């Protein structure tokens, strides 16, 4: 990666986060000192209900588990959820943190010092191609970047193209494709630097890998056999 100092500086200063999308599943649990007061805001939920998500760790994408507990709300096609007592709440253009703060503010009209626990339970991205551990990764925090996912996948292999990473995104029912060059510092300004729910990343092989893949896997055997034949013939004609 070139211009690493510039990349690191801009990454530290960047505060743009991924916004919530239609189809996201929000697990929201409201708590307070008096749990009887918050009961109407946690309708149809009991402490026995658990929503689990996998946190990538180790050498496998789905190794390790973290537990998220609470009622689940699915963001509809109008970017809204139907929340108990408060009614329809819009998530359009809002990050998880922004929507969480907004919900807390609304709840203060009914509850003293409410606490809002919120997660996106189905936020996942897929990375394929020339990475150490390709696969689908579930992100419990509901936001991640291209660099983070490459890190989760164990980095690109020596055969991966750094200057031509394909990202496929489903945005409002439309499939959008774009390519990112991570060798240049300005790639973090790309709208694809912050990934969204369901994004697919493909790291294409470079020319070296393409040439290798076209070789017959039995070529080494043929060479070895040919070498033995040549040696035998040489011994025969020497006699």
Range of the domain at 8: 4-120
pLDDT for position 55: 40
Whether the predicted pLDDT of 129 surpasses 80:
yes
Whether the predicted pLDDT of 211 surpasses 50:
yes
The residue-averaged pLDDT of 153-173 equals: 88
More confident residue, 10 or 31: 31
More confident residue, 51 or 179: 179
Domain-embedded: residue 226: no
Do residues 53 and 84 both lie within one domain? yes
pLDDT for position 49: 43
Do residues 102 and 23 both lie within one domain? yes
CATH at residue 94: 3.30.1950.10
Domain-embedded: residue 12: yes
* CA neighbor of 43 nearest in space, from 28, 58, 55: 28
Domain-embedded: residue 234: no
The residue-averaged pLDDT of 61-69 equals: 48
C-alpha torsion 108→109→111→115, nearest 10: -20
Last residue of a domain, one of 120, 153, 177: 120
pLDDT for position 215: 52
Whether the predicted pLDDT of 192 surpasses 70:
yes
* CA neighbor of 105 nearest in space, from 117, 120, 115: 115
Domain-embedded: residue 209: yes
Report the range out of 75-89, 137-151, 163-177, 212-226 with the highest average pLDDT: 75-89
pLDDT category, 19, cuts 50, 70, 90?
Answer: confident
Last residue of a domain, one of 68, 94, 120: 120
Do residues 19 and 70 both lie within one domain? yes
Do residues 46 and 133 both lie within one domain? no
pLDDT for position 110: 93
Contact 95, 20 (CB under 8 A): yes
Q: How far apart are CA 89 and CA 102, in angstroms?
A: 10
pLDDT for position 99: 95
Whether the predicted pLDDT of 63 surpasses 90:
no
CATH at residue 134: 3.10.560.10
Q: How far apart are CA 181 and CA 162, in angstroms?
A: 6
pLDDT for position 17: 59
Q: Which residues touch 123 (CB under 8 Å, ≥6 apart)?
A: 24, 138, 139, 140, 141, 142, 143, 144, 197
pTM score: 0.62
DSSP β-bridge partners for residue 95? 19
More confident residue, 78 or 234: 78
Last residue of a domain, one of 120, 138, 156: 120
Q: How far apart are CA 26 and CA 76, in angstroms?
A: 11
Do residues 70 and 166 both lie within one domain? no
Total of domains in the chain:
2
The residue-averaged pLDDT of 173-200 equals: 86
Do residues 114 and 164 both lie within one domain? no
The residue-averaged pLDDT of 175-194 equals: 87
């Amino acid at each position: 990666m070139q211009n690493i100092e510039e990349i690191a500086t801009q990454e530290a200063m960047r505060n743009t986060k991924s916004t919530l999308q239609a189809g996201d599943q929000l697990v929201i649990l409201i708590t307070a000192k008096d749990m009887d007061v918050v009961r109407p805001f946690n309708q149809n939920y009991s402490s026995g209900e658990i929503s689990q998500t996998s946190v990538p760790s180790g050498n496998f994408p789905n190794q390790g588990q973290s537990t998220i507990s609470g009622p689940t709300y699915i963001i509809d096609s109008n970017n809204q959820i139907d929340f108990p007592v408060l009614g329809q709440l819009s998530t359009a253009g809002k990050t998880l943190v922004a929507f969480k703060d907004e919900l807390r503010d609304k709840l203060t009209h009914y509850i003293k010092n409410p606490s809002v626990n919120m997660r996106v339970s189905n936020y996942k991205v897929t990375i394929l191609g020339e990475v150490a551990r390709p696969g689908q990764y579930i992100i419990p925090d509901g936001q991640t970047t291209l660099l983070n996912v490459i890190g989760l996948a164990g980095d690109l292999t020596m055969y991966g193209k750094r200057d031509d990473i394909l990202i496929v995104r489903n945005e409002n029912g439309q499939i959008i494709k774009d390519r990112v060059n991570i060798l240049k510092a300005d790639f973090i300004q790309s709208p694809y630097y912050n990934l969204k729910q369901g994004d697919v990343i493909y790291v294409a092989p470079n020319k070296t890998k393409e040439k290798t893949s076209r070789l017959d896997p039995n070529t080494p055997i043929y060479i070895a056999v040919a070498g033995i034949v040549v040696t035998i013939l040489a011994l025969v004609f020497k006699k």
